[in-house]
Structure 1
Amino acid sequence: MTSESVVPVFDGHNDVLLRLWKAGREESGEAFLAGEEAGHVDLPRARIGGFAGGLFAVYVPSPVEPATAATGGDRPEPLTPSMAEARRISFEMISILSRIERAAAGAFRLCRSAADIRAAMATGALAAVFHIEGAEALDPELRLLDVLHQAGLRSLGPVWSRPNIFGRGVPFRFPSSPDIGPGLTDRGRALVRACNELGILVDLSHLNERGFWDVAEVSTAPLVASHSNAHALCPHSRNLTDRQLDAIRERDGLVGVNFGAMFIRPDGRKDPATELDLLIRHVDHLVDRIGLERVAIGSDYDGTTVPHALRDVSHLQALVSALRHRGYDEAALRRICHGNWIRVLERTWGE
């Protein structure tokens, strides 16, 4: 692979902070910078694969993590962590993120604006955006939201796939419609409004369909699903229906294509032998439905089982090559791989 063939990838979702937190080591941030065999994402492999940065999720696991069936299908509904537990774990992950930036000597930068992302990419630094997936750490009055925004929070999913005081996440079910249960609570609507005021992106990826439409009604920002695929091609509850995609197009939002095998395959299986062509079909469907300028990458690295061809960030250019082979030109590749994310973040953040 020549250097000229590399297209930088800005990714809408990874769970590397969760992986490092689970490792339980003080030096976990150092392992990320030096490189390790575990997981999908670290700095040396990012440089090999053209991983330019993305949204780094702070996600608090459920007290007892439910197992996923081999089909990627139904799970028991996971338990919701308490606010105290969610805060403890969230702060520990935010600390890991901060320590990585401090130890990286400029090679890893926490970005608060689109200008920050462009500057980091221009110098070869990894551009990280602080994202929260599931708002269980937030108080009902949203006082902590102000503090976290000052600390760099620029993207937030009100729920993961479980209920909390802000709404109900979509359960993992296959085959299933995403129309499962009630949507946002009044507190959830207030959270969306507060995010709009602060310039924090509201992520739709783990909301059920009712919650999706609640956000569409309340929010004044582009509708964004950071790591979701097309329900028409894989009828998993986590994927977006064509009607939802139409709303994202109308609001000039964005969908980040998820690499998770169970969200790609028509049979919903968690199979690393999944062909890359199945993922490309999701890209094609999204481009046809919502337009090239609204399709991006949302890998879900370190959070799901991915196709072997994309087994970690060092192999990201395999996806770029597959898209080239499909007929996407260099301008289209730059939009899908990073330009579309930067555009929608700049519009959402207003900076």
Structure 2
Amino acid sequence: MKLVTGKHWEAFADENSLLFPEYRKNRDELIGFVGSLKGDETIVTASLELIDLITNRFRKGEENVLIYSDTGKILTLKEVYELRKYLDFDVRGGFSGERAKVSILFVEGKTDAKFFKAVFKKLFEFRESRNAPHQFRFIERVFERDNFDLLKRESDGVYLAVIPSEGNSGVVRNLGNFLRAMKVFDFSVDRVGVAIDIDESRESALASIAGKLSGFEQGTTAMGYLVGNTEVIPLVIGLPFEDELIEWKKPTVEDLMLHLIEREGLLNKVRPGIKALNGSLGRKLKPKEVMYLALSAYGHWGNLEGFYELFVMRSRFRNIKAVLREAGLMEGLRYLAFMP
């Protein structure tokens, strides 16, 4: 199966190609059309709906590809499927607009995203941005704004996107697919941060990033790796929190929050509640359960994502910096925020 999209599709079409078969067809007709395909056709289309239907069916097999006609470069349909499912990436290409200095930070989930969003706003003077530069057009067209955070620092025009993934494996997967997409669709960002939890060990976390990058021509830098003109910065989250009332198993962003609420004095306020629940449940509380107690004590009646962002924004500069330095994250975050 070959999918062809982009402005210069004529160069890849022949008498056996099916041109724009989505024209004047409803979804049921498109589903029926895709069901009739044998897998050896060439489909020329500018329909994301049709692309999604075809990639869902033909994502297995290296011979099933999407050709972006503007560059003549190829993605496997598995890569297209993952770009659409996990990043809502607009695989029709045609990105335009102002080019700018741009960083991206891939994080594990939405609570992580709100934590780091608040850090960039609090420490590095970023603000939410309604306008996207050329490098983020793939996001702006398709993403709903509550699925990611796009920030800009007005003083030097640097943009930063904080994009949640689905766990550590999702962060690494999105990194690889995003680097492939940059090559195929001929755009680039300056720096990509990869924030993952330590899980088994720091070495294994770094090895998972290095393993994904092994499929690209790369070099090393003082802060990470260089793939083309894009620098990849590993950010490994690992700051154990020891407390006789709290059950700690492995580092996550909740541990960063535990350290911060302790430094801000909120943990002592909820300690009687932690003790009471320990006795009632017959076990220690998990970090996320402590977060819900802290949320309630803080008087925030929203969700954890909103609490993380609000609490970081209202915390003291010195406490945020101290936690990030202790976690070994401060230098990497600063590097993502500032560039020549």
More strand by share: 2
Larger gyration radius, structure 1 or structure 2: 2
TM over 0.5: no
Tell me which of the two structures has the higher relative contact order, counting C-alpha pairs closer than 8 angstroms and 6 or more residues apart: 1
- Give the alignment's TM-score, normalised by structure 1: 0.31
- Give the alignment's TM-score, normalised by structure 2: 0.32
